[in-house]
């Protein structure tokens, strides 16, 4: 066996590890960018639907401005307050994605 083989093997494995780590990091960055874009779009739609600007959507506001949210209103309104916040919507969406 050539004495430099173990060193070459370690070097190759190390290079592959760095390449995979870099790829994972890029994928995470892309995921983060997508999530930030989705959060910005959600905020824009939420703000437009929140016609009384109280930071909460009533059932009627959700029905008029965010019909898909309205369909899931009871599930999103986890504290049964009769209105929902953007954080509750984001949490609901995140839970659904994990399934």
- Interval 41-74: pLDDT, tens: 999 999 999 999 999 999 999 999 999 999 999 9
Q: What is the pLDDT of residue 15?
A: 61
Q: How many domains does the chain have?
A: 1
Residue 84, classed as helix, strand or coil, is strand
Q: What is the mean pLDDT of the chain?
A: 82
Residue 51: which CATH number?
A: 1.10.238.10
- Interval 2-26: pLDDT, tens: 555 555 555 565 565 555 666 555 5
Query: Is 45 in contact with 93 (CB distance < 8 Å)?
Result: no
Q: Give mean pLDDT, residues 28-48.
A: 86
Task: Print the domain residue range for 52.
Answer: 5-98
d(CA 6, CA 4): 6
Q: Apex CA 21: angle with CA 16 and CA 27, to 5°?
A: 125
Query: Is 36 in contact with 52 (CB distance < 8 Å)?
Result: no
Q: What is the pLDDT of residue 36?
A: 86
57: how many CB neighbours lie within 10 A of its CB?
28
Residue 62 CB contacts under 8 Å (≥ 6 apart), including other chains: 49, 69, 70, 73, 84
């Amino acid at each position: 066996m050539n004495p430099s083989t173990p060193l070459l093997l370690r070097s190759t494995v190390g290079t592959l590890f760095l390449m995979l780590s870099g790829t994972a990091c890029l994928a995470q960055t892309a995921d983060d960018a997508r999530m930030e874009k989705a959060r910005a779009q959600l905020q824009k739609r939420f703000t437009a639907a929140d016609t009384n600007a109280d930071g909460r959507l009533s059932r009627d506001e959700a029905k008029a401005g965010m019909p898909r949210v309205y369909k899931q209103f009871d599930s999103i309104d986890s504290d049964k307050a009769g209105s929902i916040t953007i954080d509750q919507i984001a949490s609901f969406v995140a839970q659904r994605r994990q399934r």
